[in-house]
């Protein structure tokens, strides 16, 4: 890519409730780019909620749908893409990410993710029931290495969605210099 070019797209990764969708929407409106969210597209295609896909079809089928949607959305240009929290840890996921993608890990602790997710309601099957904090801690631990593959990391506890968008705009400026 020639020096001075913008990244082709921005990819946001991170654990559930790390703020990918809210920061992504804000960023896309600042850039005048499209915003795409894996889960929204998966759910629209399947004609049912993510929770129902997990309950009726199982996680393996969800991951299959997710992989197809990822391949498609990561081929877009001038787009801010929010992945699902589990996608970066799926085999082959990062191979789908083109070189000229500015990827950002929005980092959040398991405790804060669980608190935010409970405030947002029961939309996340992997955080439903049982000892949620224990499960989230184990999931996050298993996924951290895959999130770390993003080019940049931002602290989603320190920054709200508007500030995250500000920080990513700065990263885009750094990229183009
Ligand atoms: C998942 C995260 C969810 C959604 C699904 C599975 C995960 O997305 O894709 O419930 O495995 O962490 P969000 O990160 O947008 O909540």
Atom 8 of ligand 1 has which residue's CA nearest to it?
A: 84
Mutate to test the pocket of ligand 1, among 17, 54, 84, 121 (most ligand atoms within 8 A of CB): 84
Q: Rounded to the nearest 5 degrees, what angle is found at the Cα of 163, between the Cα atoms of 128 and 27?
A: 80
The proportion of the chain whose per-residue pLDDT surpasses 70, expressed as a percent, equals 98
Res. 98: pLDDT tops 80:
yes
Residue nearest to atom 7 of ligand 1 (CA): 86
Please give the span between the terminal C-alpha atoms of the chain, in angstroms, as a whole number: 12
Measure 100 CA to ligand 1 centroid, in angstroms.
Answer: 25
Q: How far is the CA of 172 from the centre of ligand 1 (A)?
A: 26
Q: What is the pLDDT averaged over residues 123-133?
A: 86
Is residue 101 within 8 Å of residue 7, measured between CB atoms? yes
Centre of ligand 1 to C-alpha 143, Å, is 12
* Whether residue 120 has pLDDT greater than 60: yes
Average pLDDT over residues 16-31: 97
What is the C-alpha to C-alpha distance for residues 112 and 56, in angstroms, rounded to an integer?
Answer: 29
State the Cα torsion 51-29-78-49 to the nearest 10°: 10
Tally of CA atoms within 13 A in the half-sphere of 92 that contains its CB: 7
Q: Is 151 left (phi over 0), alpha (psi -120 to 50) or beta?
A: alpha
pLDDT at 130: 79
- pTM score, two decimals? 0.96
What is the average per-residue pLDDT within 18-44? 98
Q: Is 165 in the pocket of ligand 1 (CB under 6 A)?
A: no
Point out which residues pair with 10 in neighbouring strands. 80, 102
143 lines ligand 1 (CB under 6 A): no
pLDDT at 2: 41
Cα–Cα distance, 140 to 143 (Å, whole number): 5
Band of residue 153 on the pLDDT scale cut at 50, 70, 90: very high
* Residues 51-89: tens digit of each pLDDT: 999 999 999 999 999 999 999 999 999 999 999 999 999
Query: Among 38, 68, 86, 122, which is best to mutate for testing ligand 1, by the most ligand atoms less than 8 A from CB?
Result: 86
Distance CA 137, CA 150 (A): 20
Span of 11-25, 119-133, 146-160 with lowest mean pLDDT: 119-133
- Average per-residue pLDDT for the chain: 95
Average pLDDT over residues 19-46: 98
The pLDDT value recorded for residue 11 is 98
Structure tokens at 52: 């129902």
Q: What is the CA radius of gyration of the chain?
A: 16
Evaluate if residue 4 carries a pLDDT over 70: no
């Amino acid at each position: 890519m020639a020096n001075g070019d913008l990244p082709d797209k921005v990819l946001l990764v991170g654990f559930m409730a790390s703020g990918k969708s809210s920061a992504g929407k804000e960023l896309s409106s600042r850039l005048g780019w499209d915003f795409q969210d894996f889960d929204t597209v998966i759910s629209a295609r399947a004609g049912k909620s993510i929770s129902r896909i997990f309950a009726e079809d199982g996680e393996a089928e969800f991951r299959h749908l997710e992989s197809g949607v990822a391949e498609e959305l990561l081929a877009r240009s001038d787009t801010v893409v929010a992945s699902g929290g589990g996608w970066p840890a799926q085999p082959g996921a990062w191979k789908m990410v083109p070189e000229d993608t500015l990827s950002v890990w929005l980092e959040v602790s398991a405790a804060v993710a669980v608190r935010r997710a409970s405030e947002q309601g029961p939309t996340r099957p992997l955080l439903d029931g049982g000892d949620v904090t224990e499960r989230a801690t184990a999931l996050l631990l298993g996924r951290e290495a895959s999130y770390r593959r993003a080019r940049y990391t931002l602290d989603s506890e320190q920054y709200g969605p508007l500030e995250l968008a500000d920080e990513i705009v700065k990263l885009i400026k750094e990229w183009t210099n």
